[in-house]
Amino acid sequence: MEFLAGGRAEVRITHADVGKRVSVRRLTGGGSGEPAFTDAVGVLTSWTDGVLSITRRGGECVRIEESSLVAGKVVPAAPARRRGPAATVRELQEVAARSWPALETERLGQWTLRASEGFTRRANSVLALGDPGVPLTEALGRVARWYAARGLPALLTVPTGGGSDEGPGAELAAGLAARGWTDEAHTTVRTAPLAPLADAAADTARVLLSREPDAGWLSLYHRTGAAPSAAARAVLTGGPSVWFARVPAPDGTPAAIGRLAVDGRWAGFSAVETAPERRRGGLATLVMAALAGQALAEGASAAYLQVEADNAGALALYGRLGFTEHHGYHYRRGPGPGAAGA
């Protein structure tokens, strides 16, 4: 990794480079058996209070004291692929979970219990991706008690489809059904190559991007309204590299919004909504194109999203943008009262 300029190392990045892909070298001390310097390459996701946060391609976030920098520069993004990479169900489910992080998690074998004060099913359900490590009946009892202690219904996310992953998911669904766990919110996970998506609309300069959702963005997002809970804000802003998009209407109110989470090669799209009076004007496509451009700049190459299987309008839009079905999942609700939004 070459940092030298005129024979000496230079720090050639500033706060204005937040959001760009950078390469930095920092002093690490060089103690016994340790290198004197360490290099890091990734997206500069923040630079506040003298600390830089760099998100690497695999999703790992590195925090670096500004005072330790000895060199740094902006580097070109990795070449954009025109085709999205193949992925297993597990990989996509784990990436999606990181992009919509729960406030509290606990492991049960290969299951992950998630709770976020009831904000969305995704952040308040068990991600069941393997063996819970105990018999199913015992596992479900533990799950029920864990959620009851938090005043939440017991929900399991059950992935199905995706070739070799179909069997285990179908087997788990059958076991849950036999124990009175009802199904709901059947959802499809769709993927697409990222580069063509960035070319889907031209006038992306109209789209405003920010790291935090403002009041206008929140007012249009149907799951929160203008006064979201602290838990909702934490989930929305969590993830390796999160962006919020807004297209302002002439009166300043949001005409369309969207959310992006970049995690290594994956760009996850969510919360794409258009104001009712502004629909059928291409604004959702505009939002996704702008977010896709940002994801490409951070080195991503493939896109994914999750949409409920009965949302015909959204499925038609995403189909036109090149998204195809990768796998599905649904929720299983344990016997007992309570509800959580999708």
Tens-level pLDDT at each residue, the chain (342 residues): 344 444 456 888 988 887 678 889 988 765 555 567 788 887 787 788 889 888 765 456 788 999 889 889 988 755 544 444 678 899 999 999 999 999 999 999 999 999 999 999 999 999 999 999 999 999 999 999 999 999 999 999 999 876 443 446 778 988 998 999 998 999 999 999 999 999 998 889 999 999 999 999 999 998 876 567 899 999 999 988 999 999 999 998 999 999 999 999 999 999 999 999 988 889 999 999 999 999 999 999 999 999 998 899 999 999 999 999 999 999 999 986 544 444
Measured CA angle at 263 (ends 257, 266), to 5 deg: 80
Which architecture does CATH list for 192-326? 3-Layer(aba) Sandwich (3.40)
Which alpha helices (H) appear in the chain, and where do they start and end? 89-99, 136-148, 166-178, 194-198, 215-220, 230-237, 283-297, 312-320
Closest CA to 305 of 191, 154, 166: 191
* Sequence spans of domains, the chain: 4-74, 89-186, 192-326
Predicted confidence at residue 57, as pLDDT, reads 58
Predicted confidence at residue 63, as pLDDT, reads 86
Predicted confidence at residue 21, as pLDDT, reads 80
- Write out the DSSP string of 177-199: HHTT-EEEEEEEEEEEEHHHHHT
Predicted confidence at residue 39, as pLDDT, reads 86
Q: Which amino acid is at 109?
A: G
Measured CA angle at 203 (ends 188, 21), to 5 deg: 70
Predicted confidence at residue 167, as pLDDT, reads 46
Distance between CA 22 and CA 159 in Å, rounded?
A: 36
Pairing relation of β-strands 266-274 and 208-210? unpaired
Closest CA to 51 of 60, 61, 41, 59: 61
Closest CA to 247 of 225, 279, 269: 279
Residue indicated by tokens 């070109």: 76
Closest CA to 60 of 304, 297, 262, 231: 262
Distance between CA 309 and CA 219 in Å, rounded?
A: 25
How much is the CA Rg of the chain, to the nearest whole Å?
A: 22
Are the CB atoms for 332 and 158 separated by under 8 Å? yes
What's the farthest any 2 CA atoms get from each other in the chain?
A: 72
Predicted confidence at residue 28, as pLDDT, reads 77
Determine the 3-state secondary structure of 314 from DSSP: helix
* First CA to last CA distance, the chain: 46
**For the domain 4-74, what is the CATH code?**
2.30.30
Distance between CA 18 and CA 91 in Å, rounded?
A: 28
Determine the 3-state secondary structure of 106 from DSSP: strand
Closest CA to 299 of 268, 269, 266, 260: 266
Predicted confidence at residue 1, as pLDDT, reads 38
Are the CB atoms for 187 and 330 separated by under 8 Å? yes
| Helices 136-148 & 166-178 angle (0-180, nearest 10) | 70
- Write out the DSSP string of 247-270: EE-TTSSEEEEEEEEEETTEEEEE
Token pair in block for residue 52: 């830089």
Residue 313's φ and ψ, nearest 5 degrees, are: -60, -45
